Structure 1
Amino acid sequence: MSRPMPRPAARSGTLVIGGYTPDTDGSGPGLTVAGMDADGRLAELASTAASGPSFVIAHPRLPLLYAVLERDAGGVAVFEDEPDGPRPVIELPSGGSHPCHLALDPEAAWLVVANYGDGTVGAFRLAPDGLPEPEPLLFRHEGRGPDPERQAGPHAHQAVFGPDGVLHVTDLGADLVRRFLPGMRPHPDGPVRLTAGSGPRHLVHHQDHWYVTGELDGCVTVYDGGWREVGRVPASGGGGGERDYPSHIAVSPDGRHIYVGNRGPDTVTAFEVDGPRLTLVAETDAGGSWPRHFAVDGDRLYVANQRSDNVAVLTLKDGIPQPTGETLHVGTPSCVLPL
């Protein structure tokens, strides 16, 4: 690709599904493209081989997809989004091990990768054609938490750019949110220290607050703009009594609800949100086992159920997820990206 081309018009109802492959302890093909068939049901349209593309994002203006390759020798892959399926363009080392998340800054000038295995944050400068420079800036970290099995070292889990362009990276292993100013400059105030043993996984910004899922404490914790804790609720209301490992968190399109995926109970909870206050209003079956990620697209919520090898389709009625019984078989899915 020698010059940028505009991203084509959105294909309503089209999804790109990433997941684990046989070489990364899964059973998926790599990237799966799905869309609506003549009966309005989700069906596979195409697939592209890749090694453990566990998380996928799209360039906002160019027909490009970026995926982490979640393996010991971590990688990042770029694909051209074509009608007959993603076409591999380039593959590069991620700068760390087992990368599990990546993000683009608001100007699409930086591609940031969270390497879970060793906690390294890698940042690639992007050329005007959307392709990354071969050598990323690397930020290596140290730290640990009180859980000897899950927090023996740093584990970068998610990269999110805030409304001010500041990058926030959760560190599940060290109970931190690491921050970087625009241009990938470490924040002068250092990282934010969260509750010991909480294991921060994913976070979202809404109504001048940050909402963080704790994979290890099973809670959603609310922080104000100065990162002072102002609220905390269990991510699940019970869900059968099993221990909950919250996964993804997202805000509804109208801003009235926050959704959380719960592994163990295998549910999606809907909270009514009012600044620091979260009120659980519904908890819905995820349509499968181990809901690792989900995505909202219009009046649908798609759930990647890693252990039951399916993507479940839920509908949203007045913002509340409702089961439909519809699923698409995909081996060990871990990410759903609506286009």
Structure 2
Amino acid sequence: MTSGIADDVLYIGGYTPDTGGSGTGLTVVRRENGALTALAEVAASGPSFLALHPRLPVLYAVLEREQGGVAAYSADARGPRPLADGTSGGSYPCHLAVDPTGSWLAVANYGDGTVAIYHLGENGLFDGPPRLFPHQGHGPDPARQAEPHAHQATFGPGRVLHVTDLGTDEVRRVILGTEPEPHPEGPAHLPPGSGPRHMVHHEGRWYVVGELDGMITVLDADWRVAARVPASGASGQNHPSHVEVSPDGRHLYVANRGPDTIAVFSLDGEAPSLVAESGAGGLWPRHFAVAGDRMYVANQRSDSVATLALRDGVPEVTGEEFKVGSPSSVLVARA
């Protein structure tokens, strides 16, 4: 789905005026000759996170509002066409993901912590109502952790769905058999007050960024803490947002809100080692996507998606950006 040559097509989601932002909905842009150019806009209410079907030309979006929703669109660069919509099963959904087989769509509802799992039909659309997984619990921060806050849904090895819960300092797990069922071992626990936001799996380990403590927590295959390192080398408050492993497996990328940087860590040792930290090309980098020798960063508070050049795996600010209101998610697909 990604490309390191010309003609990247980006799908951008973000916050709209009815959800506290300034965007218009879904935006489609193309990168040609060193510039991002708008191709289409589709009105939507708070499409703050996007995902693509692994096989079919279907684009999914959460609709982050109190009565949460999800929507499916045709993944068409000429303009996504609405195909179906449904409930998110909770309030303020902020993330969704499709499993590698294209059979399940999982939605994380930040507002009440509910996780919703839809079965997808052969056409990639919702096949009946979602199965709901509510949760209970809290963390030590009364302002941010008074209740569960599901933040990211990630499909990992062994047909298991993993969901970070910022409110309870846990990774919740659901087994995907004939029907989704809670994992018999229950959730995995992270350090109190860490506020797990996003995570990524690589070679038997999970790398989890804490929005509240500004740390990267490394979990081994048995869900034990193997290492903890700061997500940024900068001083002051930091609220990491997104984390990914580079396509070649050498580096871990972390977006840092506050310092407004992309930190680059080597994965050669037992713990991630900071090797570089670059400007994000804007303010409050909420999400990013890597495409070959480029990284696209959704900078929410500067109303822009910045294009960074990757040189030996390290991002560099190019000054190239696309202005779009309150972006919070960026996806790359081939033209």
Query: What TM-score does the superposition give when structure 2 sets the normalisation length?
Result: 0.96
Give 1:43 shift: 1.5
The unaligned stretches of length 5 or more in structure 1 are 1-6
Query: How many angstroms apart in 1 are the aligned matches of 2:318 and 2:187?
Result: 42
- The residue that corresponds to 1:85 in the other structure is 79
Output the amino acid matched with 1:30: G
User: Could you say what secondary structure the match of 2:223 adopts?
Assistant: coil
The equivalent residue for 1:4 is none
Aligned equivalent of 1:207: 203
Sequence identity (%):
61
Q: Decide whether the 8 Å contact of 2:161 with 2:174 is kept in 1.
A: yes
Distance apart, 1:218 and its partner CA = 0.3
Note if contact 1:215-1:245 (Cα within 8 Å) is conserved in structure 2: yes
Counterparts of 1:116-265 in structure 2, within 5 Å, are 116-183=110-177, 184-238=180-234, 241-265=235-259
Residue from 12, 28, 36 that aligns with 1:33 = 28
Contact 1:66–1:79, Cα closer than 8 Å, also in 2: yes
User: Which residue does 2:15 correspond to in 1?
Assistant: 20
**More contact order relative to length (CA 8 Å, sep ≥ 6):** 2
Q: Matched residue of 2:41: which SS?
A: strand
CA distance in 2, matches of 1:36, 1:104: 26
Q: CA deviation at 1:105?
A: 1.5
Moved over 6 A (4+): none
The question of whether the paired residues in 2 share the 8 Å contact of 1:210 and 1:222 is answered with: yes
* Structure 1 match to 2:62: 68
Q: Deviations over 1:76-110 (max 9, x none)?
A: 00001224110111111110000000111121111
Q: Distance in 2 between matches of 1:334 and 1:242?
A: 23
1:274-330 CA distances to partner (integer Å, 9 max, x unpaired)? Answer: 253211010000011100000101100000000110001101111111111111101
- Give the residue type in structure 2 aligned to 1:22: P
Alpha-carbon distance between aligned partners in 2 of 1:93 and 1:11, rounded to the nearest angstrom? 37
User: One-letter code of the match for 1:15?
Assistant: L
Q: Which residue of 2 aligns with 1:50?
A: 44
Q: In the TM superposition, what is the alpha-carbon distance from 1:182 to its structure 2 partner?
A: 1.7
Amino acid at match of 1:299: D
SS at match of 1:274: coil
Counterpart residue type for residue 35 of structure 1: R
For 1:83 and 1:27, the matched residues in 2 are separated by 22
Which amino acid in structure 2 is aligned with residue 205 of structure 1? H
* TM-score normalised by L of structure 1: 0.95
Moved more, 249-258 or 10-19: 10-19
- The question of whether the paired residues in 1 share the 8 Å contact of 2:160 and 2:173 is answered with yes
Per the alignment, in what secondary structure is the counterpart of residue 295 of structure 1? strand
Find the residue that maps to 2:282 and give its secondary structure: coil
Q: 1:12: Cα distance to partner?
A: 4.1
Q: What's 1:304 paired with? A: 298
Q: Name the aligned partner's letter for residue 24 of structure 1.
A: T
- Post-superposition offset of 1:163: 2.3
Aligned to 2:283: 289
Over the aligned positions, Cα root-mean-square deviation in angstroms equals: 1.5
- 1: CA distance, partners of 2:7 / 2:203: 28
Rounded to whole Å, the distance in 2 between the matches of 1:98 and 1:290 is 20
Between 80-89 and 252-261, the greater mean CA deviation after superposition: 80-89
Contact 1:160-1:168 at 8 Å conserved across structures: yes
SS in 1 for 2:193: coil
**CA apart distance, 1:36:** 1.8
Alpha carbons 2:308, 2:315 under 8 Å: kept? yes
Does the Cα contact within 8 Å between 1:213 and 1:248 map onto a contact in 2? yes
Which one-letter code corresponds to 1:196 in the other structure? P
